Amino acid sequence: MMRQKMWWAGALTVVIAASGIYGYNAVQAAGAGSTPATGNQHAATQTDTSGQTLIGMEKAEQLALAEAKGQVESIELDRKRGKLVYEVDIQQDNQDVDVWIDAYTGQSLGMKVDRDDDDDRDSVPGNLINASRAAHIAVQHAKGGTAVDVDLDREDDGRWVYEVDVKHANGETEVEIDAVSGKVLKAEYDKLDDDHDDD
């Protein structure tokens, strides 16, 4: 338990660095040679350069929800103590639960529970598509790549949207998806700067 608390203190640093060297190099390795999922296989597995296969966001979401029931608000492909993991943020009635799932084995690596007194949480509708479905839609719209971050947000007009980051070999596409209909609302492609190129 103490290790989880100590790790959490450093988690923000890892998240901030995710778009830097780790975010580009490791995620591109994980997504190398992968193809977008088709049909109902909206969280198809992907193989990294070492031959290991990622379990995908759909499986990570299922495993996390087996640990803690609720509404998945975000899924992020990240590192924890040197391991590639899916960090799944689940909203329950009055608390947030973060569950870490090994990105290769699917093993639960622990969870952290935080009380949440935010009144807006009660208004999350029950008819949302799930986060892994939003990731699949974003990858299809971007014509391939690896979804590395999915966040559920409420817009000023009250509409719920998923914001999905899809990494490519030479850039990133940010896709905004209506969380009820699954319709792509907008997408923006950012090419990587020379600063992110491997030496």
Q: What is the pLDDT along the chain (199 residues), one digit of tens a residue?
A: 434 433 333 333 333 333 333 333 344 334 333 333 333 333 445 655 566 889 999 999 999 999 999 999 999 999 988 899 999 999 887 789 999 999 999 999 999 998 765 555 546 778 899 999 999 999 999 999 999 999 999 998 889 999 999 998 889 999 999 999 999 999 999 887 755 444 4
**pLDDT at position 55:** 93
Backbone angles phi, psi at 179, to 5 degrees: -75, -10
Q: What is the rounded distance in angstroms from the CA atom of residue 39 to the CA atom of residue 44?
A: 10
The CATH class of the 2-196 domain is alpha beta
Q: What is the rounded distance in angstroms from the CA atom of residue 192 to the CA atom of residue 44?
A: 25
Q: What is the rounded distance in angstroms from the CA atom of residue 26 to the CA atom of residue 33?
A: 13
Domain ranges of the chain: 2-196
The residue with tokens 């093993």 is 107
Q: What is the rounded distance in angstroms from the CA atom of residue 73 to the CA atom of residue 180?
A: 14
**pLDDT at position 36:** 38
